[in-house]
Amino acid sequence: MLTDIKINKAIELLKNNQIIILPTDTIYGLSAIYSLENQIRVNQVKNADITKPLIVLISNLNQLNDLEITDLTDKDYLLNDEPTTVIFKTKSSSIAIRLVKREDIKQIINKIGPIISTSVNLHNFKPLIKESDLINFNKNIEVFFDTQLNNKPSKIYSSIIKKYLR
């Protein structure tokens, strides 16, 4: 768990539209407030295609109502005991959502709203897990290190085709 000081600092930086590195339920993630502009910025940091979709982390199911999802029938998959990302259809395309389980990250999202997240690495390279590697990834991005995380990736369920993809 992040300390209250780290949680408040993360909230402050995110409110100031900064990209930061946060622990998630699986690995460390490049995170920013959910917006198309920030999706582009995060993908640029990773040297990835700027249109590459990123996971949106939410802290409660009520936040789904603000994300232009057209069919919430399968929202209960988000409540799975294991970290599970659910792909929903939106008015214009699709969106990948994960309900966070970590209480510290829930506190952050409760204050600022949904955030985008993606593994900390350059595109097509393995995710970084060591504190020193995370710190050296980009000197302009603050790292909120808690403990080394190397969990397996989340399950992925598509509510569009009604099956698990991973």
The whole-number pLDDT of residue 85 equals: 98
Q: What's the pTM value of the predicted model, to 2 decimals?
A: 0.96
> pLDDT by residue (tens digit) across 93-138?
999 999 999 999 999 999 999 999 999 999 999 999 999 999 999 9
DSSP assignment of 138-154: -TTSEE---S---PPPP
The whole-number pLDDT of residue 149 equals: 85
What integer is the mean pLDDT of 146-162? 90
DSSP category for residue 22? E
Domains delineated in the chain:
4-67+99-149 (3.90.870.10)
The whole-number pLDDT of residue 65 equals: 94
The whole-number pLDDT of residue 151 equals: 80
Beta strands in 27-83 (DSSP E): 28-33, 55-58
> pLDDT by residue (tens digit) across 17-74?
999 999 999 999 999 999 999 999 999 999 999 999 999 999 999 999 999 999 999 9
Strands 163-164 and 84-89 come out as unpaired
The whole-number pLDDT of residue 119 equals: 95
The whole-number pLDDT of residue 61 equals: 98
